Structures are given as C-alpha cells and as structure tokens.
Structure 1
Amino acid sequence: MSSTDYFAKKLKLWHIVVIGLGYMAPMAVFDTFGIVTDSTKGHVSGAYTFTLIAILFTALSYGKMVRAFPNAGSSYTYVQQSINPSMGFLVGWAAMLDYLFLPMINALLTNIYLSALFPNVPKTVWILTFIIIMTLLNIFSVQVAVSFGGILVLFQIIVAIVFIFLSSTQSYGSWSFAPFASGNLSASLLLNGASILCFSFLGFDAVTTLSEETIDAKKTVPKGILLVALIGGILFISVSYFAQLLFPSADHFKDLEGASAEIAYSLGGKLFQSIFVAAALTSTIASGLASHMSASRLLFAMGRDGYLPRNIFGYVHPKTKTPIWNILFVGVISCISLFLTLESATSLINFGALVAFSAVNIAVFAHYFLRQKRHTFTSIIQHAVFPCLGLLFILFLWFHLEKHSLLIGVIWSFIGIIYLLVARRSKNLTIPTFHFD
C-alpha cells in the first residue's frame, strides 16, 4: 500500500517550518539562559553558534534520508531500510522515549506557569486540561493543529523581537563581541554550553514524521529541516546576544533556573513580565501540539509494519486522515505526567534523541556510501565526511549524558530487545521495501 492510501498530502513548506519551530519552543532560550551563562562564563551566544553549526550536520543527514525514504517513521524507517530491520525497530523503540515524554514535559511546564498565576487550582486540572486540548486538536485535522500552532509560534517570535528591541536600546553604546568570544573563552566552555543547548534544537527531526502528509516531501521536508534549524538557531543567537549584554555573568541572577522572569522584569517591569509568561505558556502549547503529532506518526509507522498491533496503531481515520488511536494513546500516556516531576521527565528524553541522531548519521553513510557506492568527491563529503562530523558531536553529547538518563535508556532498550524477540515470532511483521516516485 502506498503512503497516499493512508494520509492526505496537504502540508506545505510553511507548515513544516511552523511545526518544527513550535516543537523547538523559541522561548526556551530564556529558560536555559541563566544556567548556560554560568556554565559558559558569559558566552551563551558563542555556545549557541557552535551548537548550531554542529547540529546542522545531523540536520543534513535527516534531509538526505528523507529524500531516500519519505516515510512517517523517521529514524526508525531510515535505519530499518539502510542497515537492518531489527536495528530499525530498536532505534524507533529508543526514540519513543523522546517522542512520548516531550508531551509530558510540556504538560508539566504548562502546570508550572498556570499554577504561578492561579495557585489555588489543583495540578491535576491544568495537566488534564492541557492533555485533552492537545489530543482533540490533533484528532480533528493536522492542518487545524498546524494553523493554531502557527499563531502561537508567531506570538513567541513577536515577543522575542520586542525583547531584542528593548534590550538593544538599553545596551546601545556597549555592544561588543564578548557574548561570542572573549579572553577567557575556551573550547571546554563552549562544549559545556553545547551539552545543554543541543536539546533546544529538537524539532528539525520531528518534522520528518510528517513526510507522508507533505506535498513533494523529498524536496519540501529537507528544506523545512534546514529552515527550522537555521531560523531557530538565529533566533536563539540573537536573543541570547542582547540578553548577555545586559547580564554578562551569572552573578546578576538570584535564581539561575528562574532567570527569564528576572530578565523580563528588568526590561519592562510587571507588564512585560506578564507578556513573557504568556509567551512561555504559548511555547508549551505549540510544542505540545507538535510533539503529540510527531509521536503519533512514529507509532503509526511501527504499527503499520506490525511491530505494534496493526489494527490500532496502523489505523488512519478515513475522514480526518489522522491516526486517531495513536493520538488518544499518546494522550493517555501523557497522564503519567501527573506523577512525575519536571526534572525526572526531562532526563528521559535525552537518551532517545541521541540514539536517533546517532543512528541517522550512520544510516546516511550506510545507504549512500556503502550500499549505493557513491564515491565521487562530492558524495564523499556529503555522505561520509558530514555524517561523521555529525556523529562526532553526538558522541560528545553521549559522554555528557546524565547517568540516570543512561540507566533508564539502557533498561528501556533491554525491554525493547525482549519485545523484539517476541514480535519476530509473530507472522504479523511486514517490513516494507519502499519505492517512492
């Protein structure tokens, strides 16, 4: 069955960019600013620039694999088709940690923001309301969800631009290159910052799960991947530059984790601080929409192949053209956030993201360089050198992964291996060979 028999191809380039930016949550630059200022000794912009350049190699790898396999499965499909079906499943299984727990993180963040404004409302109310809204918006139509998310992303960008304007007027006359580099900058400081900031770029990979719903996916999605990474990166660099001019060191903050509120208040008092909180809230909603959407598509790809019950996870509603059972499943699973802290939930997404990033870089080399034997000079650069550079950066991040995240990830992978051994005895597995036009 071809991909067009499942989904309606309606998404355009701007839809892909909106989904990716929504997933990235542009306002996240303020959430980590205090911590990264401390870890980089006042070189947040330099750390963002380094991270953007490093992560672009992996973004290019995703673009290469989309052209080969414009499928909803993302890293799961790429490894399945270029290396080995069982390895593909295990990569997809690991990536589920990232895809399933990010909606929970957004639910927890939404509760934090709203509880600060309405302290008497129980946590359960905010989390369940958030999950229900995300689920319903995703069920009805992907275009409805994207359009709503686009409004939220636009609001965040406007707030970021207003922030840049206000901070540039206050720092006018003292502009310098110091936030990028100064006498006390070292490679270790940049790498310290990159180990935190790299996860701000999650989003370019998630849009690949919508390939089967995108018009001319082989061209549109790779462009969207690069635009998401570049627009997000430039926004992060610009905002952090002007913020760093006003707050050159971590000593300026009473609370490193709550630096965003202090920054907003110092620029525009209570009014701008309130706008800041509103923008932060919209970022969790936009990211919640996008993460819920991408998780349901990964589950669909694994369900269609029979790794998960096909009648449930491989089903797309004929009218809405959305995988409704998967969307409902993600909503139910997100209710686990009622029993989690933000710290515990955050620690669970990094393992899956690093597995997927590592695997896609390897898949490019395996598919183009080894299997298709593209050995021209240009091909060696694109299909060997670039993926290796991307993998090198990801390997560095592996060494900085928290032990708790690594332990949970290993346990989850071990469960996946057991599940795979059981699934392989079933006659329901149908690993497809894709021949897209």
Structure 2
Amino acid sequence: MANFAERLDLALTKRGFTGAQVASALTEAGIPITRAYVSQLRTGKQTNPTLQVLRALASCLQVSVGWLVGDDYLESGAVEDLQLRAASIGLGASELSESSLTLLRGVVELARRAEGLPDEPEPPSSPDIPEAAAPLSGPQRRALGKRLHGLRLAAGLSVEQVETAVGKGAAAIPAIEEGRIAPAPITAERLLALYGVTVPPIREYVLSLARGEREAAWYDAQSVPVWLATTYALEQRATVIRTYHPQFVPPLLQTEEYARAAVTVAGPATLGQQTVDEALALVLARQESVARDSGIVVWAVIDESVLTRSIVGPHVQLRQIDQLIEHAKRPNISLHVVPAEDPVYVPRTGPFTLWRFAEAFEADIACAHGIESDELITDTTAVEAYHQAFTKLSVTTTTREETFEVLNFHRERLSRSLGK
C-alpha cells in the first residue's frame, strides 16, 4: 500500500503542481508552510503534518484526506474530525517496526470488537489518484470566486460563519473568493448547500466551473445575477431553442436599436443591471452564437401585436422587421406569428423558452421569463406542459410562407406611413 509521501507525490504529479505552488497557495489561504516543508513531506523526511495542513493539502490537490494518508475507505471530501484523528494515528505509525505495527493492529482489532464495529477491510494496494478536474486557470478561479462571493452575501453569511461550518482547512474563504486558490469540487458543493443553492441548473452552472469543465465566459461576470448567468449558460449549450414572446421581438433576433428600446421600456433591472448600456451588452453577447451559424436551431413564435407595437419609433420598427425577414430566410431559424385576428390558440402564460441539448439523455429545460427573475423548470411533467403549449402554438400559427406575408404586410404599412 502506498504511504503518505508516495500519495502526495502522485497527487502533485497528476495535478501538475510544484511544491512551491502548493506552499504559496496554502500560505495565501492562511496556512503558512514553506516549499522545503512540502518537499520533505513529499520525500518522506517529514511524516507528521498537522490536521490543518492535511486538510489544506487535500483541498488544494482535490483529493480526500483519507486518500492522502492511505485510507481509501474514508468518504472523499467529507472527513469528520474522528476520522481525521484516526488517519493521523495511522500516519504517525508509518515509521514503526513490524513488531510494533503488529501490536498496534491487535489493539485496533480489540477496540473495534469492543465497540461492535465490523472487521476492518484490507485497503487496496493501488494508489491510483481519484479523478478530478485539472487545476483551474486564473480566469476560472476568479470567476468562480466572484460567484461564490455573491452567493455567500446573498445568503447573509460572514466569512467566519462559513469557515466554521466547512472548516478553514477545507475552504479558506477569502482566498477562494479572491480567486487566489480554487476549492475542490466537493468543497464547492458544500458551499452551495450552505448558501441554500438548490436549483439543479444553477448548482450545475457553478460546479461546471469548479470542475474545470468550461472556460470562464462573459456571463460569469459578477454583475450578471446567478439566475441570469445560468440561463445564458444553458442557452449557449443548447442545440435547439424554442421561444415564445407575446410582447417583444425575441432578444436573439433583435436589432441593437430595438434591443436598446426594449431594455429601456422594461427597465435594465429586469436583466439585473444598473444601466441600459450594461443590459444591452448582455443582449448583444447572447446573439453572437446565433449570428455565427454555430448550428443552433431557433424556433421562435411571436404575437402579431409585436409587429404593430412601436416601442421607439417607426424607423427603428421598420429596420427590425427587415431584420426579421432576413432571419426568417436562414435555414436554422423558424419564425411564426400568432395572428392578431381570430387566433386558434393563445397560451395562458407569459414569454417562455425551451432548451434542448446535444447529449441524448440530457433532459430538456424550460424557462419562464419573469419580471424580476427567470424560473428554471426541470420537473419533467412541467417541462412537457410547456412543450405541448409550444407545439400547439407551432401548428396553429403562420406557416413559413405566411410568416413572410405577414412581415411584408407590416413592412409596407410602415413604409407608407413614413412616405417611402
């Protein structure tokens, strides 16, 4: 069985860390150690690290304390104090003679029997390091840190309260929130649970960054609320987007002028922003994936009143209709209009979106767009209800040819009003 020094060396090698990097990370996290000390631990010249150092090393290297000291049966990332003390005893026995080890094992067996515990299983001989994400880059660490900082503040918790709850060695909160070190994914999960983040897509949005599964993106900016960043992340991953908008042109299809007017009318706070310019920047960033022909299919349904409602003036409205006509010509965009007169079906809902993803077994997600935030819907029955509503809309609205007729009708109407 591999000993502590061998496992530490293996973890450092697999994670691509040098002793100096680990020493620097732990020191910044409030656990001062030197590069020389890490080297001594790695070579077996030092065999008695404190529990605090063990916890910090495990967190930095994204392994459990149990794995690090050679006990593969300890639960990864959730080692309790009693388990840590037991691990420390095992670590301290690493240099004992064979006869002393035999005696110690006998004492342990007697103690386990006295407490009614099962016989201790033989640990596996393989020291293979548990799978974990590669070390996070600077932008990933900073984006994750800022997001966790915002969630902690939203939960109303102080740094001291969080460190007490999860253990300072497991999560040095200031260093994590400043992006100087990255928490292990299991630590990030514990922080999300502590902060009351229970919505699965939001949890996955944060954890995908903690696991290093994606690069930091524009929607990871601290100014973008976590619920909104999650919807943008889902939108960027989707292969099929079905969206219904009864009041405005869908944001993915808006011109910049129209988007500015829509944000102004609705208020930038609906996108969690302080100014119209900030909110507009988010809308334009969303459109890039559709504009670059990335393979995303957009299926949009709008109410005909959207084409007659002038939120900024006829010139801007005319240019918006021209752009809708161009969008409707693209093979990956299907645009339909609910007629103003005698509509066959109008759902009892506001705007909503459905996302479908590339993974065959990944469930669709629905999003009901609200006034102050969006509601992400993952319950299969509820998602199916939105699918049924959208399907009914699709078959009772305009066909592709009829859509062009409606768009051209309103284009000509506006042109005449402008004397063109």
Is TM > 0.5 for Structure 1 vs Structure 2?
no
| Structure 1 length-normalised TM | 0.21
Larger Rg: 2
| Structure 2 length-normalised TM | 0.22
More strand by share: 2
Report which structure shows greater RCO (CA 8 Å, sep ≥6). Answer: 1
